[in-house]
């Protein structure tokens, strides 16, 4: 039997890019998985992960079973089914901030799903209203997610796909069910920024594709209005500046929503609709077809190394960090469980040893890693500045692994120029133009948060482990500092210092600060992109490295003046 070869093609030969074989040495493990402390840490971590799983279930439930059922009875799919159907089969989906709105009066998730997925072979930012939650009305959390989605598309130069079905702004002025005031994240006057950003995407060559699954009223109407491609669904899409009630109020005109802003009218008369879909499935098909014609080519590099799973067991990441973060962790034990083949080429291994720098690859993408092995010392800050410049020189993205209580304080360190050398590091981080990915595995306190390319320092992605704690300083330090201040005040005023009361205050402040620093609180406030299971770190980073490569990866050619 012979293999048939048609049209003169050479059978069995495919040209592939040449991938480099990594040659950096493999890291060795410093872990004893049978150590009781390790086992305790792991059990604690799994318990925390269970809590997160429950919260993800809540996010998936959206507005609840009754609300979901109502949608289904109208032939509508739940938001997550819409997304799943749009994605390429078996491709990954990186949901961003799924636990937004945690511990608030709003449903976990905030009534919106955002993430990065692959549609027709193209990595896209996907934003979808969850109409089961308050009819898809724009909660403060949804607003912040929307901003983040636009930022992701802009910063990484990726097509932006939105699945719109929103009652519009949340017009209710009352407080939430619990009587607590809803979080006021921003003001109406600011929120127009969405529209500005959305239309800016288009202007910078980033296509915006909008499928309007239901009502999109008033401000919402501008989502399709400002998108490059509009897919409307028969008898389902309603887009108008004002719905029948407001029209009646404004002009007295009687109308129904189908004639006022139905898919048919927009497709045949107004011209707002570009594609007329028979139903939701048809609309998603059209969406995939539109993305497939975008001719999207990533401006950044392809993976350059062969992909090899880590030789150290990623499951052991679960037992590294203790719940109280008191026990030191060798960050190389994290590195070795997330990088390709556990291979790591360390830079300046004997200098500034409280910071670990070196090169590795994750899912084939080269990456420079900066990880904390203790408090930031002046020499470690210098080393970081050096290393970050090197990565910029060779256009390699940076990965920051944060477990940082801050820059070292004290007389000797001030004298050694901790402010000066710390500023060098901040300068290097701030002006670096290669993409930064940040994972907070443990502490993230004070200026260390920023120096290690925290959210405020323009990184592309920030992910937390469940063990992460983020604050201006550690809870006991805050409580202690405040106690010292109180004691000094008492001494100044010449009154007796109530030690018992002080102890109570210290305990209370510590507890409040501790609670406020938890990963879930940070993630609920969308101050990051989500909490990841430590075992997923490698895959999340691999996906992020692919995502950032949609835009050219280019290091800076100039830095601010280094204070040397």
Q: Does 39 bind another protein (CB under 8 A)?
A: no
**Chosen residue from 88, 155, 395, 502 binding another protein by CB under 8 A:** 88
Handedness of CA 121, 123, 129, 133 (dihedral sign): positive
| Beta carbons of 32 and 320 less than 8 angstroms apart | no
Kindly tell me which of 92 and 480 has the beta carbon lying closer to another protein: 92
What token pair was written down for 187? Answer: 């003001």
Q: Which of residues 41-60 bind another protein (CB under 8 A)?
A: 56-57, 59-60
- 279 interacts with another protein by CB under 8 A: no
Q: Take residue 441 and report the two structure tokens written for it.
A: 């595995």
CA 438, CA 536: separation in Å to the nearest integer? 14
Given a contact cutoff of 8 angstroms between Cβ atoms, the answer to whether 234 and 222 are in contact is: no
**Given candidates 379, 536, 551, 556, which one binds another protein under the rule CB under 8 A?**
536
Is the alpha carbon torsion for 509, 325, 531, 431 positive or negative? Answer: positive
Region of 17-25, 253-261, 284-292, 316-324 interacting with another protein (CB under 8 A): 284-292
Toward another protein, which CB reaches closer, 247 or 307?
307
- Nearer residue to another protein within complex by CB, 331 or 543: 543
Sign (positive/negative) of CA torsion 253, 238, 157, 297? Answer: negative
Smaller CB separation from another protein, 3 or 174:
3
By CB under 8 A, tell whether 363 contacts another protein. Answer: yes
Nearer to another protein, 226 or 522 (CB): 522
Q: What would the 3-class secondary structure string for 130-168 be? A: CCCCHHHCECHHHHHHHHHHHHHHHHHCCCEEEEEEECC
Q: Which is nearer to another protein, 94 or 138 (CB)?
A: 94
Q: Does 91 bind another protein (CB under 8 A)?
A: yes
Decide: helix, strand or coil at residue 258: helix
What part of residues 496-515 is at the interface with another protein (CB under 8 A)? none
Q: With contact defined as beta carbons under 8 Å apart, do 96 and 153 qualify?
A: no
Q: Cα separation of 63 and 133, whole Å?
A: 4
Instruction: Report, in Å, the least distance between residue 109 CB and another protein.
Output: 9
Separation of first and last alpha carbons in the chain: 74
Q: Can you tell me whether residue 277 is helix, strand or coil?
A: strand
Q: Does 551 bind another protein (CB under 8 A)?
A: no
- Residue 524 interacts with another protein (CB under 8 A): yes or no: no
CA angle 272–130–182, rounded 5-degree value: 115
> Which string of x and - marks every residue 108-137 that binds another protein (by CB under 8 A)?
-----x-x--x--xxx--------------
Query: In terms of CB distance, is 224 or 542 closer to another protein?
Result: 542
User: Is residue 2 at the binding interface for another protein, with CB under 8 A as the rule?
Assistant: yes
* Nearest CB to another protein, comparing residues 296 and 400: 296
Give me 322's structure tokens: 């203790």
The binder of another protein chosen from 336, 364, 397, 422 (CB under 8 A): 364
Given the structure tokens 């059990």, which residue do they identify?
43
Tell me the closest approach of the beta carbon of residue 457 to another protein, in angstroms: 23
Q: Per-residue string for binding with another protein, 140-179, x by CB under 8 A? A: ----------------------------------------
Are the beta carbons of 361 and 302 closer than 8 angstroms?
A: no
Q: Is 93 helix (H, G, I), strand (E, B) or coil?
A: strand
Question: By CB under 8 A, is residue 206 in contact with another protein?
Answer: no
Check binding of 530 to another protein (CB under 8 A): yes
From residue 146, give the alpha-carbon distance in Å to each of 82, 132, 139, 153. Answer: 18, 17, 10, 11
The 3-state DSSP class for residue 442 equals: strand
Least Cβ distance, residue 321 to another protein (angstroms): 19
- Phi (first) and psi of residue 463, to 5 degrees: -125, 150
Binding mask 291-310 for another protein (x = CB under 8 A): -------x----x---x---
Residues forming contacts to another protein in the complex (CB under 8 A) are: 1-4, 56-57, 59-60, 80-81, 83-85, 87-95, 98, 113, 115, 118, 121-123, 278, 281-282, 284-285, 288, 298, 303, 307, 363-364, 530, 532, 535-536, 539-540, 542-543, 546
């Amino acid at each position: 039997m012979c293999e048939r070869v048609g049209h003169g093609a050479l059978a069995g030969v495919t040209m592939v890019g040449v991938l480099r074989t990594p040659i950096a040495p493999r890291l060795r493990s410093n872990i004893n998985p049978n150590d009781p402390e390790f086992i305790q840490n792991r059990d604690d971590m799994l318990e925390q992960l269970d809590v997160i799983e429950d919260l993800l279930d809540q996010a998936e439930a959206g507005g609840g079973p009754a609300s979901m059922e109502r949608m289904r009875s109208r032939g509508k799919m739940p938001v997550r089914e819409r997304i799943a159907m749009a994605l390429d089969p078996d491709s990954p989906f990186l949901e961003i901030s799924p636990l937004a709105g945690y511990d608030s009066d709003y449903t976990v998730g905030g009534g919106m799903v955002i993430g990065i997925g692959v549609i027709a072979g193209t990595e896209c930012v996907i934003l979808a209203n969850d109409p089961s939650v308050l009819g898809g009305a724009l909660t403060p959390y949804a607003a912040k997610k929307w901003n983040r989605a636009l930022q992701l598309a802009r910063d990484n130069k990726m097509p932006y796909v939105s699945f719109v079905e929103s009652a519009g702004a949340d017009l209710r002025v009352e407080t939430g069910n619990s009587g607590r005031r809803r979080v006021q994240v921003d003001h109406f006057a600011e929120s127009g920024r969405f529209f500005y950003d959305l239309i800016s995407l288009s202007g910078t060559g980033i296509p915006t594709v909008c499928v309007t699954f239901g009502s999109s009223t008033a401000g919402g109407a501008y989502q399709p209005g400002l998108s490059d491609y509009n897919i409307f669904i028969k008898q389902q899409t309603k887009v108008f500046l004002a719905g029948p009630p407001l029209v009646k109020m404004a002009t007295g005109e009687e109308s129904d929503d189908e004639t006022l802003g139905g898919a048919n009218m927009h497709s045949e008369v107004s011209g707002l609709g570009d594609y007329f879909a028979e139903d939701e499935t048809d609309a998603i098909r059209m969406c995939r077809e539109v993305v497939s014609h975008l001719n999207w080519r990533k401006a950044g590099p392809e993976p350059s190394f062969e992909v090899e799973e880590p030789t150290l067991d990623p499951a052991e990441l679960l037992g590294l960090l203790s719940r109280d973060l008191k026990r030191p962790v060798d960050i190389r034990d994290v590195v070795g469980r997330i990088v390709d083949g556990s291979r790591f080429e360390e830079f300046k291994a004997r200098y500034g040893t409280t910071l670990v720098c070196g090169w590795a690859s994750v899912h084939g993408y080269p990456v420079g890693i900066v990880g904390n092995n203790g408090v930031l010392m002046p020499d470690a800050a210098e080393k970081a500045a050096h290393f970050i410049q090197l990565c910029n020189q060779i256009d390699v993205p940076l990965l920051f692994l944060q477990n940082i209580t801050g820059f070292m304080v004290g007389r000797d360190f001030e004298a050694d120029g901790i402010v000066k050398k710390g500023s060098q590091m901040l300068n290097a981080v701030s002006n670096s133009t290669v993409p930064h990915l940040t994972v907070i595995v443990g502490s993230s306190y004070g200026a260390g948060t920023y120096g290690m390319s925290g959210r405020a320092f323009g990184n592309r992605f920030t992910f937390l482990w469940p063990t992460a704690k983020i604050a201006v300083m550690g809870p006991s330090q805050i409580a202690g500092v405040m106690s010292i201040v109180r004691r000094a005040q008492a001494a100044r005023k010449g009154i007796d210092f109530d030690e018992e009361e002080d102890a109570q205050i210290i305990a209370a402040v510590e507890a409040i600060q501790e609670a406020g620093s938890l990963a879930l609180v940070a993630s609920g406030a969308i101050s990051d992109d989500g909490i990841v299971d430590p075992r997923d770190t490698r895959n999340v980073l691999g996906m992020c490295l692919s995502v950032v490569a949609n835009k050219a990866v280019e290091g800076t050619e100039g830095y601010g003046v280094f204070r040397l």
